[in-house]
Structure 1
Amino acid sequence: MRRLNVSWCLLLGALSCAARPPAGPTATTSRSAGESSSAALPGYAAEVPSALLPGAEPRAMRDAERVPVGASPVRGRADALVTVVIFSDFQCPFCARVGPTLAALSERYGDDIRFVWKNNPLPFHDRARPAAEAAMVVYAKAGPEAFWRFHDALFEGRGRLSDEGLEDAAEQVGVTREVLRHELATGAYRAAVEADMALAQRLGAGGTPNFFINGTQLVGALPLERYVAVIDPVLALARAITPRESAYAVMVANPVPGPEEPRPSAPAAPPRRPPLPDPSQVLRVRASGAPSRGPATALVTMVVFSDFQCPFCSRVNPTVAAMRARYGNDLRVVFRHQPLAFHSDARPAAEAAMEAFAQRGNAGFWRMHDLLFANQRALGRADLERYARAVGLDLRRFRSALDQHTHEAAIAADAAMAAGLEATGTPHFFINGQRIAGAQPEAVFAERIESARTAALAYLAAHPGLTRARYYDALMATADTAVRRVARPSDDPDHVYTVAANPEAPAFGAVQARVVIEHFTDFQCPFCARVAPTIAQIRERYGDRVRFRWRHYPLAFHQHAMLAAEAAQEAFVQQGNDGFDRYRDALFANQQNLEPADLERYARDQGLDLARFRDALDRHVHQATIRRDMAAANATGAEIGTPAFFIGGRFVAGALPFAEFERRIDAALAAP
């Protein structure tokens, strides 16, 4: 913790001698003020218990403007000296992980601490927003105690985040299913959630969980001692403030400085990650009994483990189609199910596809398969029945199969097979038994299929009695059943990757700079926004000794990221590097507002030619450039997330502190 600055000491001295002001407003006056401050949330403040509104109790803490408690759910006494405002997301695993730590803080500080819930559902958590709105319904209809019981149920796993799971959890705390459905359908509490999200954005609380302890920010699910290190001095200062009820407002206006990021005195060796499954190993992967496309006489069998709600599975389907067109009868594609637990609609969709297979064979399955992937945002029961009707299925049999979970055993068997093969993510492919993980570029599949086809022809030539139809079974008979592992290429910190250049990439720094940094980013990624100030520091520190190339890598689960990247690229085309710089800053400053109308507004504010801008986005003029960046990143073989950096060819992942970038850049500059 930094030392307290002089202004804080003077402030405390003044406060300790201050005369007590006139008595605070009455409960009636306070309630009116509270209702006024919540006027943007129709139907919300009026139903919140009045005891929780600011000033409703004689000694309740006065609210603060910068981090207001407002009418939000509170756990703890209204006059607690320490207020912890939590921006959280019901689908965030880190938010769930911090629960026991918060309970320990409550036990440690007792009546001196209170917790305030603020919603910040992240855009890539598909069930976080419905859960947040449901929680606000529970709060308004049944009060704070019911809210916190509902909150605990969702985080402790007793409540699933599907519609049915939310209804179950709400019913357990006294809100009927009918009431919850009605309120969610009308969107009555959407404004309450959006107000919290807007506050989070203003405060720079982009990720979750995010805490403000009497105004002092802490980010992430940290160890208990990190919170104690902030709360102890905050509590000591709060005790010295008079009148007591002004402590929160005063400290939020003049927050205690947060803990400094420690500067590493010496570089620590990165932890070694577990070795990868060997992609060259031929594993035994059964193909019989599953939906397939292509003849049994194909030289190459591609078994795919997939999930109908997985965006990466959808993204790779055109690649698989291209391989089928290229290799024709030499390629057979076999589909196996791996519905992931956090995709609530994936298992019912898999059951629907298997019923299509049962009723209409391969033709029915693949027709249903294509409909499901074409409509990944519409996989509810009514949607599945609509697709069944389009495929021409017997609806009575279809409904019965889904109601009775007729195909659950087959789907579970596929998932068990995937687990045995350590195919833990989707999509996962086995091409004549050899693994490809993820939605890789066409070139990766083509190389593997070509190799498998060549090996098959050689094997058949050496075994003239073996037919093509029996080749795959013969190959599997000698295949391995236990997964072999090999070291990851990136375990070597000195490994230098080759990153294909993109001449259309925005760049900063001298063309002849000694060190080039390829930076892959996503405009909807909160960690990319977090590292932006660090990049500014790097540019200021190193000037023309370092050249930045800005590369796009919009992630599939960020629905606005691709169009935002296209918009930024158009800003670059119209106004060069400086124009890209300004537009990029606007996107990162407004990550919650990346709809097409928002992108156009930022373009107008920047003085771009709007006719050209609209045309570029409507025709997706820059999408090929963006996909070249993505292909260049994937082709390196590094495990790419965002943000990702290649500093002189050496891979760096994540929003690291400036000191760590400085160490790596200095090493690259010093290299021969």
Structure 2
Amino acid sequence: MRHVSWIIALVIGFSVGFFSRGAIDGRGARPPVGTPAQRPARPVEDPRAVYRVPVDDTPLRGPSDALVTIVESSDFECPFCKRVGPTLKQLEEAYPGKLRFSFRNNPLPFHARALPAAIAAEEARAQGGDAKFWAMHDKLFELAPALDDASIERAAQEIGLDAAKVKEAIASGKYKERIQRDQQLVQSVGAPATPSFFINGRKVAGAQPLETFRGIVDEELKKAQALVQGGTPAAQVYAKIMEAASPRPVFLPTAPGQPAPQGAAPAPQAPAAPAPAALYRKVPLRPDDPARGPADAKLTVVLFSDFQCPFCGRVEPTLKQLEEAYPGQLRIVWKHQPLPMHQDAMPAALAAEAAREQGKFWQMHDKLFENQRALDAASVAGHAKAIGLDARKFEQAVQSKKYEARIQEDMRLGSSVGANGTPTLFFNCRQVVGAQPLDRMRAVADEELKKADALLKGAKPDARFYDRACDANIAAAPAAPVPAAAQAPAPGPVQKVDVRPDDPVRGNPKAPVTIVLFSDFQCPFCARVGPTLEEVQRTYGDKVRVVWKHQPLPFHQQALPAAEAAEAAREQGKFWQMHDKLFASQRELSPDAFTRIAREIGLDAKKFEASVQSGKARARIQQDQQLAASVGAQGTPTMFVNGERVVGAVPFEQLKAVIDRQLAKR
């Protein structure tokens, strides 16, 4: 979620971490006055722990088959980050051809120029790939701490970038979401400070001397060489290491009776491969969904995926291994779920659908995953030619976005069944999230095939068996507990959120529960909450209404114009039709797109254009923004359920818990 409070939270987290070290005794706690210190010793992080820090879709430097990957988490204004640069160069020279470097942004909030510099580096990558990123990376550290706009623009010109685009990217905050994702990742594995490094997943904090880095690199080289000798291709060593890596901090075992730190991973133990906990959701299929395998298979795996998602690329070989392991028993069914942060995902999905129209979906599917870094229009047209498609028909289908509605139908289905991330799979409607290793996938497949055999009782399955198996699984499954992350938060203060008589409303105007939604048409998380609210209205019917409030964020250039277009549509009684079309076209919002959508939904074009051009809706939109500020809706989406605040694109279960709490008060 885009939310300005992430900066505040990071400052608070840093302050707490810093001052706790100065204000406590040497063992991690302040003893009460006049009493002996009896608190347990401060937990110690395991120095040999391996953390899950993927390098997919990050800037990379060095050979792809390097045995050691070093991920740098850094801040361009941080003096210690600058100081460690020469050490990394020495390290690279000491191990020629053996090291690969990756970069994760972590601009600290008290460095005012760190975020603009990070945006400039990301824009450099957008203009010239990884080579330009690293050129800008080096220039920025060379300039630091002089990272004012003029200096950054000069640096851009010196390395051959379009400086105007760099300036525009900084002004618009173009890559903030991507940078925030980097920060969330490194914080989740206990690396909030800069610089931090991960050497094949091993954490190194701070600007350490060369000897420290060399010691860990030497150890990791030996491990990597052992993997290669055991049959792992050199280019897959890092991915292999990441399979068993921890997604959160790992601490050494505590003394008997002492609890592990909250949120910490347990100390490493022998790896196991249990099947993930079972959660079942009914996933309906279309007759023409892309499918591979027999229609009467005992086990159907429905895959929600994204052609640009690196983890989706990683799961593909695993699925092929499953098909080989269960010949004739397994069917794979594809569902589209192009994520909003992947710019080429929707165009790639449209290309796959255009290929499906000509009977070659899977050939295009394979080409797109084989060339995940080449999903631009020209490359995809080349893929179409390579698999023998009729080029004219293909281009017409892609350019007209003929199958966009079909893809969006898959996306809505995915959101409704909990497939918000990719890849998400359903084995006879049993959910498996992420690119799990083969042994875990096989564990699930074995369990579901065993249940299928019990259901068949020796009979042969038919084309309707998938529905039977799903229904049986859902009927037999116990009610799934709501995970902690999806539980409703403790009730907070109830805010009075004024609603105008003419505010856009969906649902029963007299519903006992009102959800006031502050949203932004360009915000990807706002698009993600839409299917959740649709599920709310399907579930609760006349008991819930949704009221729209505008909150166009300043770093979304098209958010305010889109809000004005929606208001112009509201004047003609078609706010929600415009609302739906704007979110469906979120990647291409522009004045031309607004005019096109106005025609599509049957607006009086002359009245629409006059309304937009007059700017008369801005005062109303600003009223919504002022209201948002007064009730604490700083980011989008923010909802108020009968005045109780819910922040972000939360899952249906969490929103349901808040609604149920409000209904119980009636």
The TM tier, using the shorter chain, reads: 0.3 to 0.5
**What is the TM-score with the length of structure 2 in the denominator?**
0.38
Q: Which of structures 1 and 2 has the bigger CA Rg?
A: 1
